Amino acid sequence: MSGGLDVPPELLRQIEAVKAKRPKTVLDHILKHGSITTDELKEQYGYDHPPRAARDVREHGIPLKTTMVTSSDGRRMAAYTLDLEAVADAKRGGRRAFPKELKDTLVQRDGERCALCGTPYPARALQIDHRVPYEVGGDVAELDPADFMLVCGSCNRAKSWSCEHCDNWTTIKEVAHCEGCYWASPTSYSHMALEERRSLTLSWVGEEAVEYDTLGERAAAEGEELAAYVKDALRRLSERD
């Protein structure tokens, strides 16, 4: 119990790992008193922009809830406390808040690109994704970057749909099946959601868009869908070799 808050052990470990001064100050105060107001941030700690201090906490993957309170002199002000409901909802949904350091590590390792489709994106547009879905692999106290990758929103939604319709998600629940799947290991896999299937996602970026438009025009002239046209072209090139 901390400041009247029943903080889950996993969240406490995450809070204790925060070393940066400003978010640590906010969290230490909340753990001791249950919440911290904008007045306290200004008067006790000298933070003239309290929302920035709260943002620093959230960037470490720790959810805060903002409420309005009334001071002793009748003024209205914001107060921040741990959003334990968000933590519980995340746990039920198999999701967790990730610290900023994890995302920084993944960007440094893989670059600012989607691990599934390879399309470049700014880091802020990429989402941290479990390689093996939480519903199959569960969660662990220690975050190992090898267990995660950065994906774009479109690929994340496609992966969710595919995984949720896979027998390994619903009944089998073998981690090894997930590890051998495209959605976990897009550069080295044996199946897609237990189906004998291979996938190649191509994107034409910037000036390359002209090439894409040209392919589309040629496919239309041949009366083919673009995907079929590209596959036929690759097949002919392979047969020529």
Give the pLDDT confidence score for residue 117 in this predicted structure: 94
Answer yes or no: is 195 within a domain: no
Confirm whether 184 is domain-assigned: no
Residue 144: HSE in the Cβ half-sphere, 13 Å Cα cutoff: 6
Question: Which residues, 6+ apart, have CB-to-CB distance to 158 below 8 Å?
Answer: 116
CATH no. for residue 55? 1.10.10.10
pLDDT in tens, 34-47: 999 999 999 999 99
| 199 belongs to a structural domain | no
- Do 168 and 212 lie in a common domain? no
Same domain for 85 and 102, yes or no, is no
72-76, 89-93, 177-181: range with lowest mean pLDDT: 89-93
3-class DSSP state for residue 124? helix
* Domain enclosing residue 32, as ranges: 9-90
For residue 237, give the amino acid letter.
L
Please tell me the predicted confidence (pLDDT) of residue 24.
94
In a domain, 185, yes or no: no
Q: Is the pLDDT of residue 141 over 70?
A: no
Work out how many domains the chain is built from and give that number. 3
pLDDT tens for each residue of 64-80: 888 889 988 888 999 99
Comparing 220 with 63, the larger pLDDT belongs to: 220
pTM summary value: 0.62
Q: Cα torsion for 137, 141, 144, 147, to the nearest 10°?
A: 20
In this structure, are 81 and 147 located in the same domain?
no
| 188 within a domain of the structure (yes/no) | no
13 and 65 share a domain? Answer: yes
What pLDDT band is residue 1 in, cutting at 50, 70 and 90?
A: very low
In a domain, residue 37? The reply is: yes
User: Which among 90, 116, 151 is the end of a domain?
Assistant: 90
Work out the pLDDT band at 93, boundaries 50, 70, 90: very low
pLDDT for 180 equals: 97
- DSSP assignment letter at 168: I
Last residue of a domain, one of 55, 90, 125: 90
113/73 same-domain check? no
Q: Which has more pLDDT, 152 or 141? A: 152
- Is residue 131 located within the same domain as residue 72? no
Residue 189 lies in a domain: no
Backbone angles phi, psi at 222, to 5 degrees: -90, -5
Is residue 230 assigned to a domain?
A: yes
